[in-house]
Amino acid sequence: MKFAQALIGILAAFFISHTSHHSPRSDTRPITVQAQTNAAIAQSAGTQIGKTLFYDAAYVRLDYPNGDLPLERGVCADVVIRALRSQQVDLQKRVHEDMQAHFSAYPNNWKLKRPDSNIDHRRVPNLETWFQRQNKALPVTDKYSDYQPGDIVSWRLDNGLAHIGVVSLNVTPEGVPLVVHNIGAGAQEEDVLFNWKVTGHFVIFRIKRGKSQRLPNSSR
């Protein structure tokens, strides 16, 4: 009995050693922690597709901090807010605190006299201002390779309204990055990067901008 147990132990040790030295080689390229973090923002934006189904701009009283609407509804800014929360960046709290300290630095489009943590972070001009004030801005270009997964892009639509979305992990067959956004029908991933005038290009976690920071097997 002891001999049999010993033999089983030897065979098990050999099997473990053999498999550990002959595991399949990984062809995935190394990615920095920061790039994975920005990519995680893109991945989080993508998870909203099929879950956020409606565009709803209604004023809603929110918890604070980390307040949110029901996931099935929201505006374009909510795509960004939810994606950043996956990386512990609470735009509701951060925008509110900065507006409390520097209210005059923010747009006065809504004729408010004080910050409102229920709505301020859900307004694109406020987000653009916060990103700029926090040194998150990148150059606005018409070169699609400058837009990496997890980057945040804002536009002015043809009707003059502000819009915002998150650069996806995925690209078109021509290599143009797709964007996750909500422009009326819930969270969608679409080829709209240059459909409107780009007015803002932002990144939360700064990295050395290489040729591409896309995760392996993410293009389509």
Query: What residues form DSSP beta bridges with 189?
Result: 180
> Is 27 a domain residue?
no
Domain count, the chain: 1
pLDDT at 203 over 70: yes
pLDDT at 2 over 90: no
> Is 123 a domain residue?
yes
Q: Which pLDDT value is given to residue 207?
A: 76
> Is 139 a domain residue?
yes
Q: Which pLDDT value is given to residue 25?
A: 28
pLDDT tens readout for residues 90-114: 999 999 999 999 999 999 999 999 9
Q: What is the 3-state secondary structure (H, E, C) of the chain?
A: CHHHHHHHHHHHHHHHHHHHHCCCCCCCCCCCHHHHHHHHHHHHHHHCCCCCCEECCCCCCCCCCCCCCCCCEECHHHHHHHHHHCCCCCHHHHHHHHHHHCHHHCCCCCCCCCCCCCCHHHCHHHHHHHHHHCCCECCCCCCHHHCCCCCEEEEECCCCCEEEEEEEEEECCCCCEEEEECCCCCCEEECCCCCCEEEEEECCCCCCCCCCCCCCCCCC
**HSE (side-chain half, CA atoms, 13 Å) at 145:** 5
pLDDT tens readout for residues 41-63: 999 999 999 999 999 999 999 99
> Is 196 a domain residue?
yes
> Is 18 a domain residue?
no
> Is 70 a domain residue?
yes
Per-chain mean pLDDT for the chain: 85
Show the domain range for 74: 32-202
Residues 6+ apart with CB under 8 A from 142: 194, 198
Q: Which pLDDT value is given to residue 72?
A: 98
> Is 42 a domain residue?
yes
Q: Which pLDDT value is given to residue 26?
A: 28
How far CA 158 is from CA of 133, 141, 148, 196, in Å, comes to 26, 19, 24, 7
Q: Which pLDDT value is given to residue 22?
A: 31
Percent of the chain whose pLDDT exceeds 90: 76
pLDDT at 8 over 90: no
Q: How far is residue 139's CA from residue 173's CA, in Å, rounded to a whole number?
A: 25
Q: What is the CATH number of the domain that holds 76?
A: 3.90.1720
Tell me how far apart the terminal alpha carbons of the chain are, to the nearest angstrom: 57
> Is 136 a domain residue?
yes
Q: Which pLDDT value is given to residue 185?
A: 97
- For the segment 160-185, the average pLDDT, to the nearest whole number, is 98
- pLDDT band at residue 172 using 50, 70 and 90 as cut-offs: very high
